[in-house]
């Protein structure tokens, strides 16, 4: 669409709706002011002239839902090993990748760049990212199947894999995380974060796409779980609701700005169980096979096989229960 003046916009609005209040002069300044929102206002280091369009949250969510149905196609009502299944997987994956390519082009400023060499380079980068994601999907599916199996083995209330995939917030969050992590590794941080934050908004489980998570993770219940960017989680780990794997402190540079990208979150080794409400902070290691009790505050490493629990609460008997303190 070519650029339009405000009077042309007003005329188009009136053509669509003769009763539009935006025709009133007092709203011209409001529309102009709102339209100035750009990356430069969010980040002063960028000028309006150099700002780029941002990916569409709605489109990214649509892409993820398509990929979810590709990763678990038998759970959307189709029989496996049929032509219909193959058609669904093929067409849905193609649609998801079209969305991904379009959003990558937007994020990279492809449509605004008139330089043919740069446009060709961006096209190649987008093709490479799309192909790499497709190649990773069978591996991602295998990891998610292991996550489902861990939930089935670890939750006595689970009736089957279908219930876990369709109902359990932990699997929803892990599906988004595992897809986002692949894109994060491919150098697509913004879209990756959009994917995991969408799961966060639905499930209450906040997993940064940069975290490294092994096989067979079971997040039981899940609400309030936080897993930071540089956290490392091994295989067969079980995490309950309200658990935080966070940073203890943040190093600053000589100008007082936070130093980004440094390892600052915990390393959780294989076969660890972390019960509800536990807070584990800093670049510490929880050794293999350890159990971290509920509501524990942990800021030091513990060796393999440790059991860390709160101290016993102090109980005092009042001399006369009828007398108020």
Residue 251, pLDDT score: 78
Residue 39, pLDDT score: 46
Comparing CA positions, the residue from 95, 98, 182 lying closest to residue 133 is 182
- d(CA 183, CA 63) in angstroms, rounded, equals 13
Cβ contact 241:168 at 8 Å? no
Q: Please provide the distance, in angstroms rounded to a whole number, between the alpha carbons at the two ends of the chain.
A: 74
Cβ contact 249:267 at 8 Å? no
Q: Report residue 73 as tokens.
A: 């196609």
Residue 274, pLDDT score: 98
Ranges of CATH 2.160.10.10 domains, the chain = 211-312
Residue 122, pLDDT score: 85
DSSP 8-state symbol, 36: T
CA distances from 305 to 72, 215, 302 (A): 36, 20, 9
- d(CA 257, CA 261) in angstroms, rounded, equals 13
Residue 260, pLDDT score: 80
Q: What is the dihedral of CA 229, 233, 238, 239, to 10 degrees?
A: -20
- Count helices and strands in the chain by DSSP H and E runs: 9, 14
One pLDDT digit (tens) per residue for the chain, 325 residues: 456 676 777 778 778 887 777 767 777 777 777 776 554 555 554 444 445 578 999 999 999 999 999 999 877 666 666 677 888 889 999 999 999 999 999 888 755 556 677 778 888 999 999 999 999 999 999 999 999 999 999 999 999 999 999 999 999 999 999 999 999 999 999 999 999 999 999 999 999 999 999 999 999 999 999 999 999 999 999 999 999 999 997 777 777 787 787 899 999 999 999 999 999 999 999 999 999 999 999 999 999 999 999 877 666 666 665 555 4
Comparing CA positions, the residue from 201, 211, 202, 210 lying closest to residue 239 is 211
Q: Which architecture, in CATH terms, is 53-206?
A: Orthogonal Bundle (1.10)
- d(CA 180, CA 111) in angstroms, rounded, equals 24
Residue 47, pLDDT score: 44
Cβ contact 271:233 at 8 Å? no
Residue 103, pLDDT score: 94
Residue 282, pLDDT score: 96
CATH superfamily of 211-312: Hexapeptide repeat proteins (2.160.10.10)
Listed in order, strand segments (DSSP E) in the chain are: 206-207, 212-213, 218-219, 226-227, 232-233, 238-239, 244-246, 267-268, 273-274, 279-281, 285-286, 291-292, 297-298, 307-308
Comparing CA positions, the residue from 239, 197, 195, 186 lying closest to residue 216 is 239
């Amino acid at each position: 669409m070519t650029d339009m003046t405000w009077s042309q916009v007003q005329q188009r609005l009136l053509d669509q709706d003769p009763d539009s209040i935006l025709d009133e002069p007092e709203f011209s300044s409001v529309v102009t002011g709102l339209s100035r929102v750009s990356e430069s206002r969010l980040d002063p280091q960028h000028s309006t002239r150099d700002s780029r369009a941002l990916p569409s949250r709605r489109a990214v969510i649509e892409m993820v839902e398509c990929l979810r149905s590709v990763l678990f196609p038998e759970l959307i009502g189709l029989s496996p090993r049929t032509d219909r299944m193959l058609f669904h997987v093929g067409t849905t994956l193609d649609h998801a990748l079209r969305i991904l390519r379009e959003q990558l082009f937007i994020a990279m400023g492809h449509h605004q760049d008139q330089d043919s060499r740069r446009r060709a380079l961006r096209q190649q980068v987008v093709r490479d990212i799309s192909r790499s994601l497709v190649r990773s999907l069978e591996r991602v599916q295998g990891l998610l199947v292991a996550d489902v199996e861990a939930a089935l083995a670890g939750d006595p209330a689970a009736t089957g894999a279908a219930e876990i995939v369709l109902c359990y917030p932990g699997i929803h969050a892990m599906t988004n995380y595992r897809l986002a992590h692949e894109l994060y590794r491919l150098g697509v941080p913004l879209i990756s974060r959009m994917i995991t934050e969408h799961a966060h908004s639905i499930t209450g489980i906040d997993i940064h796409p940069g975290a490294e998570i092994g096989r067979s993770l079971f997040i039981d219940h899940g609400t309030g779980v936080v897993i930071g960017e540089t956290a490392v989680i091994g295989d067969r780990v079980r995490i309950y609701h309200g658990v935080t794997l966070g940073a203890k402190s943040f190093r600053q540079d000589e100008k007082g700005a936070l130093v980004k990208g440094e390892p600052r979150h915990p390393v959780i080794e294989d076969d660890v169980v972390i019960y509800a409400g536990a807070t584990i902070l800093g670049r510490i290691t929880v050794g293999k096979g350890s159990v971290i009790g509920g509501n524990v505050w942990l800021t030091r490493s513990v060796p393999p096989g440790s059991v860390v629990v709160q101290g016993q609460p102090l109980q005092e008997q009042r001399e006369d229960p009828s007398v108020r303190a």
